[in-house]
Structure 1
Amino acid sequence: MSQGSVESIVSELNKPKKSSQKNARGEPRTDSYAFLKKISLSSHFNLVVEGDSDYKFYKSWCMKNGIDVQVTVIDKIRLRELEHEELGRGSRRTQVISLSFKVSREPLQNRELLENKILCVADFDLGSDIEIFESECLAFTDFPSLESYTLTHFVMGNVFLGKNLCDLLDEIYQKLYILYRIRCYKSIKKEKQSFKNLRKAQRKISKEEINEYQRQFTAVAGTDLREYCYGHDVSRLIIADYGKFLQVEFDGPEALEEKLLDITLNDPDLHNLKLFRKITEKSISFRPSGLSRKFDKGTLGIEDIINKAVSEGYS
């Protein structure tokens, strides 16, 4: 093979890969420019989320709370390029954040229109890069991921039996906290951070390290410990260590996770959390005329408006 042919192949390999016209399920993807144009002409408030479980949860929660919303999974949108130099490549979280930056780079008039109509929701993850990605139309989960919301007395009380719930939750929180710290501190590549690999890494760390993690856990025990519960670890840990205490048998972590999220939809404290307050507030600001028919904005503050919208719904 000639030197020129080699250089040609190398040059081709180094070119940025174009986004596929279809997603993993073979469904057509809408170009991001066409998608944003559609949003600008839409009469609906719009959420863009990472995955199918996110779609089901946010759509259901909004419907339960009287919020008229269109929800789109990010893999149905074709991004030509990532919009921020700090973004890594490939993940759905990355793509959701990138779409929000595409909106922020629109001309002023169109940007303001879009920011009023769309909210991109990404996982908080480990939170190390949150400040970099601030945007008017971007929101992060309050905890590492959507599944982290499930770890409450309200939810767990509906799936466990025959064991003191407070003691059980304390054990689960502590184990999840240690796994979270291993994610943060150990040099395990992101793509290798499965629950199975983290448990292997946990078995290899010293007793002194475990004691240090336990001391750290004690120090944060008065905070909302869901901040240290990394999404999919919740159902995997419960199946692995506490399966015998569940009210019914589940086929696996995914089935348990789906059940936990279904119960979380009815958690009365959910609407007090930052993300869900933002969804509610954004949806209200998008529908000022509809709101004024039901609420007297001259006498109600935004706190009252949000709480009323959540408790009663609006049209």
Structure 2
Amino acid sequence: MSLPDTMRAVEIAAPGGPEVLTPCERPVPVPGAGEILIRVAWAGVNRPDALQRAGSYAPPPGASPLPGLEAAGHVAGLGPGVGGWALGDAVCALLPGGGYAEYVVTPAAHALPVPAGMGLREAACLPETFFTTWSNVFMRGRLRAGERFLVHGGSSGIGTTAIQLAKVFGARVFATAGSAEKCAACARLGATAINYREADFVKVLRAEGGADLVLDMVGGSYIPRNIKAMAEDGRLVMIAFLEAPVAELNFAQIMARRLTVTGSTLRPQSELAKARIAAELHDKVWPLLAAGRIAPVMDSAFPLERAAEAHARMESSGHIGKIVLEVAP
């Protein structure tokens, strides 16, 4: 396969708002040992991209400085030692960075086949969201069938994914959202929706016996309220802090009720840890996607060169589900 020397991409010209995302031309990356090169068709847009754009979420050492943590396309190159992939294979992958470009490299172990019957546009919504949700809700949070699960930001990409996965594995799901439209979207996916502008999620969950697991991306004032909403032996998993990373908390409640408070971020984890997540997804979740039992919820799509508009859409919090960039036909 003949590859060009340069590619279209979007870079962060300087830390700032969406307007700092600038179309540019960059050299096509070369896959190293254990890596594959992907010709990107679609790239997912995620909150960490906005944090990186603002200057508060630096890429790990050796990663591309370009934004973009997930993409779907076709294998265009194989690094030394790579097996299991062939040139032209349809693939979606978790990326260390660089997804806002026509070509990107990533460890082969972080790539997954596009589920049967799914297009590349939808597949680009899977890696970052499903890696994050699976690792935090099921691997770290240990959600089990029959438990009560509360997810905040239920209409987000993470939220819509968490609702579906928790539901299909037998949990009873509650989700917070901030409008009637967003609550309706959560309800269609099988959650008991709580409009946080009209109801207190603490009272709702306490009336139901408390949440066995809470997945929170808000932080701040939500942290002590999450503790109050939890059942005995409940678990709280933090994955982001849209409000604040600091809160005053009475740890006596945690001791007396045997609560667990934990959390994680995905990008800084080791390549081996991410490979283990990919393997579990391939075995336990990809068959559900292929069977149509779960599917990504799509909000909107923008051409690569209009990445700034995609970020503005995401940061307006008006979206329901995933936002993607069309990179190449």
TM-score (norm 2): 0.30
TM-score (norm 1): 0.31
Structure with the higher helix share, 1 or 2: 1
Which has the greater radius of gyration? 1
